[in-house]
Amino acid sequence: MTATARKITIIVCAALCVCLCLTAAHITAFADGEYTRDVTVRDVTVTSGQNSVSVYTDPVDYYEEASQGYLTNYEIRLRTVNETDSVMYTPLYPNTTTGRKGNVTEYVCQPQGANYVVTEINSAGDGSTYIPVGGFVLSLNNDSHPNFAKVGDVVGFDDSRVKIATKAVESDTKRVVVDNTNTTRSGPMVVYYDYQFGAKTGTNVFGTEVTCQYDFDLNTFVVTSFRNFGMGDDSGSDIPDNSFVLSAYGEGYRQLLVRGQLFNEGDHVKMVGFDFIRFGGTVVGEYDFINPTLEENPAGWETATTPFPAYRGTNQTIIYRDGWDYNGAAGTGTNIYGYEAAVDANGVVVELNVNVSAIPEGGYVISGHGTGRDFIRSNVVLGATVVVDEETKTYSVSTTLNSYYENLVTSVNSAVNTAQTRINQLYDVDRQYLEQCMAQVDELLVSLEQVKTDIEQALEQEGLTQEERLSLMMQYNDSQLEIERLRHQIIVSSAESLPVSSRAVWHRPTEITWAQLEENISTYREVGINLVFVETLYNGYSTFRTDVADFPYNSKLGESYTDSSTGTVYDDYLSAFVACCDKYGIEVHAWVENFYVGTQQDVPVLQNHPDWLLYNDDGSIIQRNEGGLYIFIDPANTEVQDTLINYYLDLFDKVPAVKGLNLDYIRYPVSDQAEDTGYTMAAMKGFYEQKGLTFSDAQLADRNKMANKFRQLFDVNYLPGGQKEAEENYSQWVQYRMNVVTNFVRRIKQEVKDEKGIMLSTAVFASLTESRDDKKQDWPTWLTNGWIDIATPMAYYNDAADVQLRVSEMIMLAGNNCYYYAGLATSYSGLPAWQNKEHIEASYNAGAQGYVIFCSTQIIGHEDVQNALKSGVNAKQGVSPHAAVKDVVKAYADDLYDKAQRLYIPAGGMTQQQAEELKNALQEIVNMPATDAVEIYKVLVAVERVQDDLSDYAKGYSRQRINEKLNDLADILDTKISRQLIADGDWDPEEDNRRPTVTEDGIIAPPPIQPEEPVNPDPELPDDKPQPVQGLKPVHIVLIVVGAVVFVGGAVAAIVLLRRRKR
């Protein structure tokens, strides 16, 4: 259909599904030079009865010039149409009318059944003929083709190159075709997003967007704003109430939504071919299999030996019926790269998500990948009715206004019931406010039902115009949105605010004055943030004035910062940021991006040390699978490691108030054998030496020659062992690079953490396979060896169930040697603000003791997110779990006494005397010393004694709630025992991962490791029955198994305490 003229160099990079950025996959094209998208299709034969004519379509092309991947020039070029030309104008033409004047007759052809039929003929030659969406206009010279057809005649063409668009958004004169609705923007296209997609578009900066909002006075949608190419971040544009966003991406498309190209602010626009509220129609989709097996669905294989999860292949749609089981998954067991609709036994859609939570009893789930995913996202809505036709392998989706209403009632009732249960069970929520919201939402539902009835009656009348229909629909939508806002407020306000939890954020430096710093940091304090990981080393620049010349101070930040209240002048951003945070009681750790140095090759570190560049297997330096023009320096280069460590040492010398170091990009770039990386002289030489091989002098003198020789290790044509030897070599090469990173983390622990007495944390990917295979990042070793104080697993998933699963898996694998604060990108991924609460609670349920929001841009300036945090999960200020034992215990003691007065005593769950006795018991624990592992253990024992005697203090729900908090305290204390043992040198998990037994009398080392084949001391007992170890106090644990695989640690079982026994 299209022809392209190119004079460009293109680098195509796939953005990852889990990174410090996005949860959805995007394809990003960076192009330099010129590009022309020519939409004209030539030599198309059109017939009507005995008449035929050869035409071309849409005389227009879209011209672009770009530099560094950014648009620099663009033009929509309408081509001259000669008087004798025969032209077919389709909706792809950017004008709503043909504009062709002269001796022509124009035939308007619209679909009727399977044919196109002439519905109107314009012989005036005035260029005013409207080009219908879903149809076309045939524009013919009167002399060459007189009387080609008459109204009612069928006009046809048999040319698959011509695609007639069926959806568009247009003003009076201009139009843009809509390729997809509410789907991932995954290729050159225009996508429409509205309230059914979420709060944001979730699109990256390599496109353009326009926002259109409904004006109730004008009864039309009005263009309100534009998002220019390269602007914003990867969370995309906001989707305001009663609005939609058009999003264009890709060469020849991205210019369409630039201000002034087709639309301007204030333009009145309308949807053609679809509605803002889509109901009253039926669409039909296709599916591939029901409850598939690999035998019947070969496309379910991802590789020759590994199937796709739940056997859902590329671009497939699978139906999973009740009874389906894949490795014990609660839902379908599919991966996160699709979209699903859960249909209940009555054929009603009850859940939509990337992965639905469960298959409804008696129902099924429609699960799509690729094109199947896009169809579900575009056409299936909550409350719709679905019918499956197994003969044709199709499913039909029908919607009515009543189905929308009933679904809203169901979702509101669910939120209200949850809130009421939490009130009744004495969770610490704002009862008065929740009851007010619940009463208000009940009243609004009654009013909405009347609105619905009025609309249904109006729709039954004949002669209802499109304008009248739109007005009625938008009235309904506005009322519905008011109810939805209340529902979301009920949801976020139903969350408890924990007395002890880290509420953290990754902060991007943007402030250039003290006033800006104070404004943002005071906002953090207001919404309950108590820990900030501030970006300190990024893009090759520093936020403090370091003596390490390779990382100069970032000139985009303020030269100095003056505290207006004290007159104190701070010489750099980091010093000022830390001082301001200290004023508001917020702890600061430095977030550093170790081996990633940005996207520009002229940064000082690369100018000073071109030999530090990280090379790919093809000799390039731009990483191909990072989602941008990312450049890394070589992790295997000792000089690189030394420089980074010197920078970190200088950081804590210059800004000692920084309490910790948060390691990001502590890995290799994403790669696999097909597109590999790490081909530096240091790494290749090191791996060669490890294998007992040597390079020639000529190869050692030339990186390219060295790489040519090195690649032969993985080429079967050069190996006597063939494929097996090649695979073994590559596996060892992966392990070598993992070891390089792990050894550097060990160095940071020894040379920075131990020397400076700071906390060490790391931002790692929650998926173990992804971390090790793709990023050469062996975080389980770092955590189980006790090097890391705080793990911040990047659980960047859309569904709260996935967040809980991945964080639980990480804790299960790595144990309780550190604190876990789950990294969340809820709002950054374009999800609505209230889902922050869902993800935070999922993190807590998984065992995390806190969370970290990526990133500051999703809190600052976003009142909806701020409200979601401070209405529930952060309603009260919290103490960080890694704070001093005394502070942690006191926080719990104060919290329980406060709740006793407000909740438990009024509910009859305890008396005032019991509350005072509990307060005194906890105060005694607060006053206990806790300077070493034994003393912390005594504190833990004292807490457990209170739990054992809890029936003396409270009953019923009051007792349950108190016990829950004491369990949380016990878990934190147990982690503190591990950290203290390591800090005091009483335990080195790297030498022996069995934690010593701590008692009130001292520390007992683990017994010696038994030989692999121990002698059976008692012939009466079978060899495989374990012998009891005498003299050790038993520790009761609960092993939480999530997922389908239980990992076993070898011949000697390394028992890691995952969760203490709940009392």
355-381, pLDDT tens digit by residue? 898 999 999 999 999 889 989 988 888
Classify 270 in phi/psi space as left (phi over 0), alpha (psi -120 to 50) or beta.
beta
Residue 1038 has pLDDT above 60, yes or no: no
pLDDT band at 304; cut points 50, 70, 90 = confident
Counts for the chain of helices (H) and strands (E), in that order: 23, 40
Distance of alpha carbon 355 from alpha carbon 334, whole angstroms: 7
User: Which residue in this structure is represented by tokens 């809980």?
Assistant: 804
Q: What is the pLDDT of residue 1021?
A: 46
What is the mean pLDDT of the segment spanning 91-112? 98
User: In this structure, is the dihedral angle defined by the CA atoms of residues 811, 536, 15 and 13, taken in order, positive or negative?
Assistant: negative
Higher pLDDT, 801 or 632: 632
What is the mean pLDDT of the segment spanning 177-183? 91
What is the mean pLDDT of the segment spanning 893-905? 99
Q: What is the pLDDT of residue 506?
A: 98
Average pLDDT of the chain? 90
b/e code 529-550 from CB counts within 10 Å (16+ = b): bbbbbbbbbbbbbbbbebebeb
3-state secondary structure of 360: coil
Residue 874 tokens read as 């952060």
Residue 583 tokens read as 């004023």
CB–CB of 257/263 below 8 Å? yes
pLDDT digits (tens, 9 = 90+) for 15-53: 333 334 332 323 334 457 899 999 999 999 999 999 999
Q: Virtual CA dihedral for 667, 671, 675, 678, nearest 10 degrees?
A: 20
Cβ-based neighbours of 559, under 8 Å, separated by 6 or more: none
Pairing between β-strand 282-286 and β-strand 1003-1004 as defined by DSSP bridges: unpaired
Query: What letter does residue 669 receive in the DSSP assignment?
Result: P
Q: What is the pLDDT of residue 232?
A: 84
Q: What is the pLDDT of residue 1014?
A: 53
Residue 12 tokens read as 């195509």
Q: At what angle do helices 466-493 and 401-424 cross, to 10 degrees?
A: 10
What is the mean pLDDT of the segment spanning 389-412? 91
pLDDT band at 1048; cut points 50, 70, 90 = very low
What is the mean pLDDT of the segment spanning 275-280? 74
Cβ contacts of 305-314, under 8 Å, gap ≥ 24 = 308/334, 308/335, 309/333, 309/334, 309/335, 310/334, 310/367, 312/338, 312/367, 312/369, 313/288, 313/369, 314/369, 314/370
b/e code 417-445 from CB counts within 10 Å (16+ = b): eebbebbeebbbbebeebeebbeebeebb
CB atoms < 10 A from the CB of 821, how many? 27
pLDDT digits (tens, 9 = 90+) for 941-989: 999 999 999 999 999 999 999 999 999 999 999 999 999 999 999 999 9
Residue 1004 has pLDDT above 90, yes or no: yes
Best CA proximity match to 245, nearest among 187, 190, 177, 174: 190
pLDDT digits (tens, 9 = 90+) for 667-711: 999 999 999 999 999 999 999 999 999 999 999 999 999 999 999
Q: Write phi, then psi, for 25 (nearest 5 degrees).
A: -90, 135
- HEC profile for 973-997? HHHHHHHHHHHCCCCCCCCCCCCCE
Distance of alpha carbon 340 from alpha carbon 7, whole angstroms: 41
Q: What is the pLDDT of residue 1017?
A: 52
0.85 exceeded by the pTM?
no
Residue 1031 tokens read as 């003299």
Q: Write phi, then psi, for 180 (nearest 5 degrees).
A: -145, 155
Distance of alpha carbon 175 from alpha carbon 192, whole angstroms: 13
- Chain centroid, CA 751 distance in Å: 34
What is the mean pLDDT of the segment spanning 1007-1023? 61
What is the mean pLDDT of the segment spanning 802-816? 91
Q: What is the pLDDT of residue 929?
A: 98
Distance of alpha carbon 329 from alpha carbon 1042, whole angstroms: 10
What is the mean pLDDT of the segment spanning 876-896? 99
What is the mean pLDDT of the segment spanning 565-579? 98
CB–CB of 759/731 below 8 Å? no
Residue 171 has pLDDT above 50, yes or no: yes
Best CA proximity match to 39, nearest among 65, 71, 9, 76: 76
pLDDT digits (tens, 9 = 90+) for 608-659: 999 999 999 999 999 998 978 899 999 999 999 999 999 999 999 999 999 9
CATH architecture of 39-166: Sandwich (2.60)
Range in 62-76, 491-505, 606-620 with the lowest mean pLDDT: 62-76
Residue 227 has pLDDT above 70, yes or no: yes
Query: What letter does residue 161 receive in the DSSP assignment?
Result: T
- Chain centroid, CA 1034 distance in Å: 42
pLDDT band at 560; cut points 50, 70, 90 = very high
Q: What is the pLDDT of residue 1016?
A: 57
pLDDT digits (tens, 9 = 90+) for 197-221: 878 898 888 899 999 999 999 999 9
Distance of alpha carbon 397 from alpha carbon 376, whole angstroms: 10
Best CA proximity match to 521, nearest among 590, 582, 575: 582
Fold for domain 502-873?
A: TIM Barrel (3.20.20)
Query: What letter does residue 91 receive in the DSSP assignment?
Result: T
Q: What is the pLDDT of residue 6?
A: 30
Higher pLDDT, 4 or 809: 809
**Cis ω before 13 (30° cut-off from 0):** no
Distance of alpha carbon 276 from alpha carbon 1035, whole angstroms: 60
Q: At what angle do helices 885-899 and 933-948 cross, to 10 degrees?
A: 20
Best CA proximity match to 1060, nearest among 949, 976, 967, 925: 967
Pairing between β-strand 759-765 and β-strand 790-794 as defined by DSSP bridges: parallel
What is the mean pLDDT of the segment spanning 906-910? 98
Distance of alpha carbon 728 from alpha carbon 738, whole angstroms: 15
Q: Write phi, then psi, for 718 (nearest 5 degrees).
A: -110, 5
Cβ-based neighbours of 1025, under 8 Å, separated by 6 or more: none
Residue 185 has pLDDT above 60, yes or no: yes
Higher pLDDT, 436 or 234: 436
Higher pLDDT, 9 or 263: 263
pLDDT digits (tens, 9 = 90+) for 744-787: 999 999 999 999 999 999 999 877 888 898 999 999 999 999 99
Residue 1034 has pLDDT above 80, yes or no: no
